[in-house]
Structures are given as structure tokens and as C-alpha cells.
Structure 1
Amino acid sequence: MMANALVRCGYFALAATARRSVLLLGLLVACSYAAPAGAQAIISNGGIALGVDSLGQLNVPDGTGGVFLTPTNSGSVGLYSFALDADATSPGCLCEGFGISANGVSGFADNAAGTAGLTSVSFGSTASTATAVAELSALPGFTVTQFYHPSASPDLFIDEVALTNGTGSAVSDVRYNRTMDWDIPPTTFDEFVTLQGWPATALLNSGDDGFQSPDPLVASDIFCGGVANANFTDAGPCDHGARFTFGFGGLAAGGTKSFSIFYGASLSEAAALTALGTVGAEVYSLGQCHTGVVIGCDATVGTPSTFIFGFAGVGGTALPPPDPPVSSAVPEPSSLILMGSGLLAAVRYRRRQSSK
């Protein structure tokens, strides 16, 4: 999927020899996904905002639910940074989504690559949380619940994912895919991408083609500079993303498999890794702007911002947590008085003992 890429916008598609020119010139057509009123939300922790759609995929119109962020590079909100006033998944195409499968049947939701095989069960939200429940249409009772809320790090939102087998019978080959096209500001459509986490035991395949369908039964492609099914660092610059498929084996009737996904942004790569360590992420992708094109863009140190996409609970090695802060507190005067009194009493005691 290099040249002659097929760029989809719902059921609308364009064949293009250069995808970026299509995005800039041809895809001014609105890429929208029809959702019931109230079944979308923009949620925020004050530093990061997510636009969550009805089935649990990201990317919704700015202004959804009366929340207007007005990103400088998009009319939609997917993964938005208040520090940059810009979005990292919605420019050009609404290319972010997920898919689930069991017993060899799948369903997926992506507002650009298409939605099929899923039925919405419920959706609810508050100012900082959203919960979407969807079901495999061909396997009633097999559901995915995705609960988005602020994480232990202010730089990250967490999506707590639960795959539940309510079919009444055991199912086999349970899978989950998450795919996104990075569009890192301020060099939107031209970024460096890092992917790390191999060999996590649940990770079946990965790549940097963020324009693929998130169908977990389809193997991951590489797009430009990434490496299939392996770790890589700072691939690019190019218009690409990250795609991960996880396999969890069989699931007994009534069983649930849970894991976590993280979305966010930090002001540097070091800060991003600290955030990932805080939440115990095991697999992740980083998106950074094109070094040297805009003043301040540096993919090595990750400025002015490093965007984050990570996973935990997938059988990998967690990043180390940050070191606890070193206390620099000076004892209060009352504490010093008590300490001095204790030392004086000890001296008097020793004198009495030696005089006996």
C-alpha cells in the first residue's frame, strides 16, 4: 500500500498515486460517520482531549456535545493537545479505529477505513469519561467494553478494554486490533514514528500502515520506513502511523479478557516515556514532528511534543516507573527544637550513667 493507495472516507474512496496530495486537495470532502445523537463525546483532563465515537473508535466533529476546541489543523477531534492546540489523529482522514474477532469472524470501526460487523449496545459519557459497548453482529453476546477516563499520568488517557464472552459457549482465537494514522503537528502528514514492545506474548503482528482497516483477521502492513512485526525507532519522515493486533487465545463462556490502551502527549520524548512508565505500558508507539522543517521540531528529543499510543496487560515487559521525587524539605523550627531536646537528654543520661 505505497503508491496507488486507496484512501477511504466511510464508503467513499479515491485511488491516488500520492496520498498526501489527495488529502490536501481531494479530501476536503467531509469524512463523517453517522452516529445517533448523543452517541459521541469529546472528553478532557485539561491537558489532553479525546473525541470518542459511538462504537469506541476515535475522531468526532469539533463541537460534539457543545465542546469546541477549534484545533488549528483539523475540524475534528481525535487525540488533541491543549499545549499545541492541535490534533494528532483527525487531520486529512479520520483514520483511527479498532476491531475484534472470535471464532474466525470479525467486526471493526474506523471512520475512514469503514465500519462493519459491529452492533452498538450502549454509549455514555461525562466531561472526562466515555464508555462504549459494542457486540459482534455475527456472534451475539461477544462484546467489547471500552471505558475512557484520565489515567495516573496527566499526559495520558486510559481506555480500559474488556472482551466478554456472553455467547453461552466457549469461543476460540480472540483478537483485538487498534490502528491509527499519526498526523503530528506542526508538520502534519510528515512525522517520525517509533514502535516498541516486541516480543509481548499477546502481540500477533504490527506495522506502521495507519490507513489499513482495523480488522484483526488482516495482517499488518508496513507503509514507509517501518518494520513489520519488530521494534523500530524514528522511522520516517513520512505520513504513517501504528497498527497492533493482539491475540488472547480462547475464552470460556462467561469469561472476560481485560487490558488497557493509552492515548496522550508529552512535551518531550523523555516525558512521554516517564508517562508510559507511570502507567506500566508494555507496548507503544510514539509520533513526533519532522526534524528541521519547523523551528523546534526535533524527533530525537521529541519537542515540541511527543504523542503517545500504548498498551498494558498484553504480556510484555512494563516500562520502569519513574524514580520517586527526592525530598528537599528543610525541617521546621519546631522539629529542630524537638531534635535538640532529644540530643540534650541523651547527653545528660550518659553523664549520669558515667558518674555512677
Structure 2
Amino acid sequence: MIDNTVVRLGVAPAGHLNIPCPTNPVSSGTYGTSSIGLRYLPTNGEAAAPGDACEGWGVASADLGVSGYSSAGCGSANVTVEINAPSPISTLSVVRVGDTFRVTHIYTPSPATPFLYQVNVLIENIGTSFVSDLRYTRGIDYDILPNTFSEYVTIAGTAGNPWVVGAVDNNFVSLDPLAPNFPLMGGVGDFTNLGPGDLGAQLDFRLGSLAPGEVRSFRTFYGAAGSHADALNALAAVGASTYSLAKGNWDGTGDPLSPTGAPTGTFAAVTGQPNTFMYGFRPPETPTHCSVECPAILSHGVYTPDRAGVQDACVVNGQYDNRVVAVTTLHGERVEFSCMDYGSPIGNPCNVVPGADTCNLTAFQKLCSDPTFAQYCL
């Protein structure tokens, strides 16, 4: 169980949400539970744990016919936990999917907004076969106060999106990316405030090819906010172009936190009050350019080319000599690697030449797809 004082998550060792926690306060609204999945602490609203705990994920190679998936309430298959490393605010899950994939989920508070947890996902091909059609599925059965099992759900950002292969309002279907799915109330692709009903959101992503020994990494997000506007602003702040939202069935009168519920209506669907829950996806990013610069920690460093063809340096106050780094921007943030030989097949991301050194983009791209270094590109 982890939280940033606004959003609390219950993360199982296999990386899906929902864990039992008998000592935790029972959630607000009808059918409250002490289990933790996705909770908004200001209202004590729990979105994932009531009823069937069907939040989960799945990974597959559509071309090889290999898949694995994990959920607390809707089945798991072909998944073996290798590492489970929780802390009070963050957690790490590493699992193996057969002999084909190693899947890592890293949950950490978003530095951009208190309303979201960032979930870094890394999928490594540990097999010997080339994967030409990599898939990832994430789904959640939303259950939103005040009248749990009756909510309005939105999915956006799927139309014309090459990363999205499917989206439905139903998460009672299998989380296996190779299994068929179908809607509950006709929600397919993009839809807005569908409901009220006992609905969810399942998104299937196509992530391209993956060679043996390589990693595909991307960012996802889970969280909640006190209004529709705050939720959209949070998703925009992290660049989540594809997302789902869930809001309650409430007319704005009475006490929405009451264990007996409150009058139904569309007020919550429009305003998102008192809480809007969300999932977001930001697709993989590959370095398309890079440069050689002083390290970020040396904000006053002076870049010093060595015209004899020796690796360049960064000098501070004419005395401190520090080796330069290869730099790019991914997910709107600076990513840097030291200029050095990382061995075969990566090599050195810096081309050491007479005059100013240049960046080796191919080596930088290999660093971002290498199991040891890919996490630093997120």
C-alpha cells in the first residue's frame, strides 16, 4: 500500500492493483471496503476494490501466440513474480511471462501533479525469438461513489491512434491481450460519460516489434482528483494522450460519502465532483536526436572541446574537470548518459573527434532499449 497523501494504491506483487487491508478505513459510499486498489484520500473514495477486483494488466506477442496476464479478481496466467520491492510511497514489481517476457512495473508519485501516480512499464524480450507484434493491455472495473456499481465512464484519445488496438467499457473480460473483448453498454473506442452502469475501461495497446534482449518502455498513470477539470489538467501535465475517466452517479444533493448512497443524477458526470478517477497512457518515445553537453549537475560548467581528439571535458571555475555527457529529451525531460564505452552492442554514445565531440544517436537508442539502462530513459 503506497500513497502520496492524495492518491493511495494497493499494488500486488505481480503489479496489478487491489490488496486486502483489514486495518484500513472502509471506503466511502455504498458497499464500502477496507481493501485498497485506487483510492482518493480527500473523499476516501475507492474505485477499484469494491465488488470484483478486476483491475489488471496483460502482455502478449500476437505473432508468436504467447501471453500472460495478472489480476486479483479476473484471472492470472503464465506469470511468475521475480521481484517485489515496496516502500511507503513507491513500489517495484518484476515478473516473468513464460520464457518470453520480463515485465517491470514501477509505481512512483508523479513529479508533475499530486493527482497521479506514474507507472513506468518496461517489457523485455528474454526469449530467443523476434517479436513482431508486441501487445499490452490494462483494464479496470471502475466502482465510484456515492452509488457504487453505478458510474459514468469516458475513454478518449483512441481514434486514429496507432498505439491503440482496442478499447471497451468492460473489464469483466479477460486481461489476456489475445482474448476477445466486448462492450457492456456499447462503449467502443472513444466515448464520453457513458452510463450509468457497472462499467470499466479496458485498453489494448500495440507496441511494435521487440528483438531478443531489447526492452520497450513507456509511461502510464493512475490517480484521482476532486473534479473533471482537475483530472484533465493532471493528465495534460503528464502528457497522457489516451485516458479513461470514471465519475459517480449523483445529482449533487445529499451526502455523496454516505454509506447509504445519495440521490442519482448527472451532476457528478458533468462536474466530476466529489471525485474523478483516471488512467492515462503515454506511448513509448525513442531518441530522435542527441547532443554532447556538460552534465546537468554542473549548471555553470564550461564545455571545453579537445581539438586533439581526446574526449571533451566540462570545466567549472577553471579548475573542476568533469567528463561530458550525451543528452536528449524524452517525455519532455532531460535524459543523459556519460560519454564512455558501454561495451558491445551499445558502444559509446559520444563520438570522440577533434573539436567538439558529437553524439552517436544509434548508441543512445541502444541504451534506451537495453535492460540495464532503459529505466533511465523514462
TM-score with structure 2 setting the length = 0.68
Name which of 251, 258, 265 aligns with 2:224: 265
Per-residue displacement from partner, 1:286-330 (whole Å, max 9, x unpaired)? 000013275465211111111111111168xxxxx9xxxxxxxxx
- Number of the residue aligned with 1:212: 173
For the 8 Å contact 2:145–2:249, the answer to whether it is kept is no
- Number of the residue aligned with 1:339: none
Structure 2 residue runs of 5 or longer lacking an equivalent are 257-266, 286-331, 333-378
Name which of 15, 21, 30 aligns with 1:56: 15
Per-residue displacement from partner, 1:94-121 (whole Å, max 9, x unpaired)? 1101111122111111111111111111
- Number of the residue aligned with 2:215: 256
- Number of the residue aligned with 2:115: 155
Considering fraction of residues, name the structure with more helix: 1
Name which of 107, 116, 123 aligns with 2:77: 116
Could you tell me how far 1:169 is from its partner in structure 2? Answer: 3.6
Q: How far apart in 2 are the matches of 1:294 and 1:180? A: 28
- Number of the residue aligned with 1:68: 24
Per-residue displacement from partner, 1:190-210 (whole Å, max 9, x unpaired)? 000000012221100110111
- Number of the residue aligned with 2:39: 80
Structure-to-structure mapping, 1:20-35, within 5 angstroms: none
Q: How far apart in 1 are the matches of 2:146 and 2:215? A: 41
Name which of 32, 44, 49 aligns with 2:3: 44
Could you tell me how far 1:141 is from its partner in structure 2? Answer: 4.8
- Number of the residue aligned with 1:174: 134
- Number of the residue aligned with 1:34: none
Q: How far apart in 2 are the matches of 1:52 and 1:294? A: 34
Q: How many aligned residue pairs are there? A: 268
Letter of the aligned partner of 1:270 in structure 2?
A
Structure-to-structure mapping, 1:1-356, within 5 angstroms: 42-63=1-22, 68-72=24-28, 73-102=32-61, 103-137=64-98, 140-151=99-110, 152-198=112-158, 199-226=160-187, 228=188, 230-292=189-251, 295=254, 297-313=267-283
Letter of the aligned partner of 2:11 in structure 1?
V
Q: How far apart in 1 are the matches of 2:252 and 2:102? A: 45
Structure 1 residue runs of 5 or longer lacking an equivalent are 1-41, 316-320, 322-356
Q: Give the greater-gyration-radius structure (CA).
A: 1
Letter of the aligned partner of 1:260 in structure 2?
R
TM-score with structure 1 setting the length = 0.72
Q: How far apart in 1 are the matches of 2:181 and 2:223? A: 23
- Number of the residue aligned with 1:346: none
- Number of the residue aligned with 1:31: none
Change (3 A) 1:116 1:301: same
Per-residue displacement from partner, 1:104-145 (whole Å, max 9, x unpaired)? 1111111111111111111111000111111112xx151110
- Number of the residue aligned with 1:350: none
Q: How far apart in 2 are the matches of 1:207 and 1:314? A: 22
Could you tell me how far 1:173 is from its partner in structure 2? Answer: 1.6
For the 8 Å contact 1:97–1:108, the answer to whether it is kept is yes
Q: Identity of paired residues, percent? A: 37
Letter of the aligned partner of 2:148 in structure 1?
T
Change (3 A) 1:123 1:292: same
For the 8 Å contact 1:74–1:86, the answer to whether it is kept is no
**What SS does structure 2 have at the residue aligned with 1:60?**
coil
Q: How far apart in 2 are the matches of 1:277 and 1:100? A: 26
Q: What RMSD in Å do the two structures reach over aligned CA positions?
A: 1.7
Q: How far apart in 1 are the matches of 2:126 and 2:284? A: 22
Q: How far apart in 1 are the matches of 2:229 and 2:190? A: 18
Q: How far apart in 2 are the matches of 1:294 and 1:232? A: 26
Could you tell me how far 1:270 is from its partner in structure 2? Answer: 0.5
**What SS does structure 2 have at the residue aligned with 1:284?**
strand
Q: How far apart in 2 are the matches of 1:300 and 1:220? A: 28
Q: How far apart in 2 are the matches of 1:141 and 1:209? A: 28
Could you tell me how far 1:168 is from its partner in structure 2? Answer: 3.6
Letter of the aligned partner of 2:172 in structure 1?
F
Runs of 4+ in 1 over 4 A off after TM superposition: none
